[in-house]
Amino acid sequence: MIAPRAPAFAAAAPLRAVELDDVAGRPQVVAWDRATGQRRVLTRARHGVDACDLEPDGGHVWWFDADPDGVGAWRRQPFDGGPAAPALTGLPRGRPYGIAFDHAGTLAVVCVGHDAESRYHLGPPGGPARPLAAVAGYAPLVDLSPDGTLLALAGRPDGPVAVTVVRRTDGHTEALAGGPHRRVWALEFRPDPAGDAELLLVVEAGGHYTVGTWRPGRNVRLHERLAFDTEITAHWHVDGRRVLVQQDRAGRSRLLLTDLDGGEPAVLPTPAGTILELACAPEGTIHYVWSREATPPRRLVVDPAADPRPTPGPPAAPGRREVWTPQPYGRIHSFLATPPGTGPWPTILLLHGGPFLHDRDSYDPRVELLTGAGYAVVRTNYRGSTGYGPRWRHDFGHRVGLAQLEDLDAVRRHLVALGVAQPGRIGLCGYSWGGYLVLLALGVAPDDWAVGLAVSPVADYATAHRVTLPAVREADEELFGGTPAEVPDRYRAADPMTYLDRVRGPLFVAAATDDERCPAEAVGRYVAALRDRAVPHEVLWTTGGHHGDAAGQSVVFAALLRYATAVLPPYGPPPAAPSQDHRDRRGPNPDRPEGGEFNEATHCAARPDQHGRAGPRRRHRQDAPRS
């Protein structure tokens, strides 16, 4: 399943927009003529398209043509159809770290990740690219001011240079600082070409997330009446100094519209559930992608100028409820889905990635498949998850993995006490960083878990840190408080390799040989050690990178579910360990494994802590960690 995405609108041509939609199992760019309502598929990219935007006059569409490993080039194609060409000639291939246009559409700035650098180029759309600057590591482009003079670049939010603003004409820079107790994210410039440049920010300090603004030569201004206790994102809304704020709390979203010059924020009428993405149309309507647990993502529209009548949502689905597990450091929030009938049931804890993400009141097809097979499914927002405030997100003392396992163990015991989970028949399933927690748990607490199911896991933290992407490496260093050389004991305590001698299985592992975020080298070391220790396990090697296509995802999940039902049958006692354990499912050529591509389920496709407009230009830098 590929979730729909919020549209991108042409700023100077309000009746033109583009969307990313599912076309034959891959996301492709769809041109939307709002005057006629006609939608037309524009791209047929072999591996699909994950990023696109529209030039201000609506004449051309930009889309990123990537290989499965995420490396590619920007293409430019007429909105009305026709062949695609390089968006800027001479632009090197790399990873998409942001694009932006000036108000007139005569200048484009592109940031490309290449050779562990962030490289900035500018030029007229379709014309030659001129190198502008190069910065070591991950420093994506946030936005370009409407007059084309100022570039905003993202740094590490808690670092001394959280945001850099560069004056293009002479290279003059101004830095906005974060710190250990203050994090700063840049979002976007106010789109008014006639006014002074004004950059929208979110600042985390004092236990709150606050909307802020910055103007050249001035300090950051915090708008204290727009302070929230959980994560937010914000957008300029059409004209003046009105701002749209999305707050995510405990797995649900709400939208507020306010004027920075005064007045109380107005809560906009949206149904209960989760807003995965949103975009403001030039006339002021807000287009958003919405979902809840039993309802797949769909596009909805709210008009702030209309009567504030809430959009009706579907009723709550049967077999769904929430569980709050009290602990001395706070309450752990979980979403619970159960099969028909009465419990207790064999239970799977389905772990989200990130870790700076959260499970929410949003549709996840894996939940439907697992409950349909007879399992109770629990999605737990362990410490480190977003949606519960800064303390829940950060305050676990660099005890990476171990603090999260404490949360999962507390939830496990609570579910047994509630009569939901069958004692001794509780397993773990996770993708990416969630898969890492699965491997770690089966070594740290092998008696607690009946089966582990890990897809695209971090299996060897030191190796993964060395060979992963710069953005992910930086996120790891924030989690651990340093590199493996600087804090080796922290990495060792958090590494699944440390606990291999205690792993008993059974364990299912799926990984891609070309995964750029959770490298295959690390997974290969881990599964080789499982073989040496005769641990019951099965390995499925795939291709397609960390994020593959929908068909490949189905291949992996089908294999995962088959393994789960063999070793933890939904009904009756578990059988003896299957004789085919220790299998390594490869083709005859180990460089071209069997199986298809796969991707984490769509519930992690959009993040509430992406402070900024969804799309290639203003991705919040926490789009970087594993997901």
pLDDT 10s digits, 70-93: 899 999 999 999 999 999 999 999
What are the Cα distances from residue 602, in Å, to 5, 10, 505, 518?
Answer: 11, 27, 28, 18
Return the pLDDT at 581.
44
Closest CA to 474 of 512, 411, 528, 517: 517
Higher-confidence residue of 270 and 582: namely 270
Answer whether 305's CB lies under 8 Å from 281's CB: no
What letter would DSSP give residue 192? Answer: -
pLDDT tops 80 at residue 280: yes
Strands 117-123 and 537-542, sheet pairing: unpaired
**Token couple for 133:** 């600057």
| pLDDT of res. 8 | 96
Q: How far apart are CA 245 and CA 240, in angstroms?
A: 15
Q: What is the mean pLDDT of residues 6-25?
A: 94
In the chain, the amino acid numbered 483 is T
CA–CA dist 71, 64 (Å, integer): 9
Cβ-based burial of 466 (10 A; exposed 0-12, middle 13-18, buried ≥19) = middle
Distance CA 145, CA 102 (A): 6
pLDDT at 554: 84
Q: How far is the C-alpha of 183 from the C-alpha of 202, rounded, in Å?
A: 8
pLDDT greater than 90 at residue 365: yes
Would the CATH topology of 1-135 be identical to that of 320-604?
Answer: no
Whether pLDDT at 579 is above 50: no
**Res 512: pLDDT:** 86
CA dihedral 203, 204, 210, 216 (to 10 degrees): -10
More confident residue, 332 or 611: 332
In whole angstroms, give the CA distance from residue 143 to residue 186. Answer: 9
Task: Show the tokens assigned to 299.
Answer: 């596009």
Residue 611 predicted with pLDDT over 60: no
The region, left, alpha or beta by phi > 0 then psi within -120 to 50, assigned to residue 263 is left
Average pLDDT over every residue of 376-380: 98
- Distance (Å) of CA 142 to CA 364, 390, 491: 30, 23, 31
Q: How confident is the model at residue 580 (pLDDT cuts 50, 70, 90)?
A: very low
Cis peptide leading into residue 506 (ω within 30°): yes
pLDDT of 605 reads 27
Residue 236 has pLDDT above 50, yes or no: yes
What is the mean pLDDT of the segment spanning 251-264?
Answer: 93
SS3 percent helix, strand, coil of the chain, rounded to 5, is: 20, 35, 45
Average confidence score pLDDT of the chain? 88
pLDDT digits (tens, 9 = 90+) for 166-224: 999 888 999 999 998 899 999 999 999 888 899 999 999 999 999 999 999 999 999 99
Give the tokens for residue 594.
């069997």
The sheet carrying 242-249 orders its strands as 232-236, 242-249, 252-259, 266-267
pLDDT over 60 at 577, yes or no:
no
**What tokens were used for 392?**
């829940």
Please state the pTM of the whole predicted model.
Answer: 0.89
Backbone angles phi, psi at 530, to 5 degrees: -60, -45
Lowest-pLDDT range, 52-66, 249-263, 427-441, 576-590?
576-590
SS (H, E, C) 11-64: CCEEEEEEEEEEECCEEEEEEEECCCCEEEECCCCCCCCCCEEECCCCCEEEEE
Give the pLDDT score at 626. Answer: 59
* Secondary structure (DSSP) of 546-602: SS--HHHHHHHHHHHHHHHHHHS-SSSS--SPPTTTTEEE--SSTTS-SS------G
- Return all residues near 209 (Cβ < 8 A) that are at least 6 apart: 202, 203, 227, 228, 229, 230, 231, 232, 390
Mean pLDDT score, 311-316: 70
| Strands of 295-302's sheet in order across | 274-280, 286-292, 295-302
Is the preceding peptide bond at 131 cis, omega within 30 degrees of 0?
A: no
The Cβ of residue 160 has, within 10 Å, a number of other Cβ atoms equal to: 11
Q: What is the mean pLDDT of residues 525-543?
A: 93
Is the pLDDT at 612 greater than 70? The verdict is no
pLDDT of residue 493: 97
Range 320-604 classified under CATH 3.40.109.10: no
- Of residues 602, 603, 623, the one with CA closest to residue 233: 623
Query: What are the sequence ranges of the domains in the chain?
Result: 1-135, 320-604
Q: How confident is the model at residue 291 (pLDDT cuts 50, 70, 90)?
A: very high
Q: Tally the residues of the chain.
A: 627
> Angle 365-372/550-567 helices, nearest 10 degrees?
30
- Is 434:428 a contact under the CB 8 Å cutoff? no
The residues pairing with 33 across neighbouring beta strands, listed in sequence order, are 16, 38
Identity (one letter) of the amino acid at 325? T
φ, ψ for residue 108, nearest 5 deg? -120, 140
CATH topology of domain 1-135: Neuraminidase (2.120.10)
Rounded to an integer, what distance in angstroms lies between the CA atom of residue 326 and that of residue 613? 35
Region 19-28: mean pLDDT is: 92
What pLDDT score does 520 carry? Answer: 83
Q: Are 421 and 344 in contact (CB under 8 A)?
A: yes
CA 80, chain centre distance (Å):
32
Question: Which residues, 6+ apart, have CB-to-CB distance to 175 below 8 Å?
Answer: 160, 161, 162, 163, 164, 165
CA nearest to 516, candidates 198, 66, 126, 125: 66
22 HSE (CA, 13 A, CB side)? 11
Radius of gyration of the chain (CA): 24
- 24 versus 73: which is more confidently predicted? 73
pLDDT of residue 105: 96
Tokens of 167: 């004056």
Spell 126-142 as b/e; 16+ CB within 10 A means b: ebebeebbebeebbbbb
DSSP designation for 514: T
Q: Judge whether 40 and 30 are in contact, CB under 8 Å.
A: yes
Instruction: Report which of 325, 510, 493 is spatially closest to residue 430, judged by C-alpha positions.
Output: 510
- Name the strands in the sheet holding 421-431, side by side, starting at the edge strand that comes first in the sequence: 320-327, 330-337, 376-381, 345-351, 421-431, 452-455, 507-512, 537-542, 583-585
Q: Give the number of other Cβ atoms within 10 Å of residue 283's Cβ.
A: 12
In the chain the first and final C-alpha atoms are separated, in Å, by 17
More confident residue, 317 or 313: 317
Q: Quick one: average pLDDT of 546-559?
A: 79
Average pLDDT rounded to a whole number, residues 339-354: 94
Distance CA 219, CA 389 (A): 25
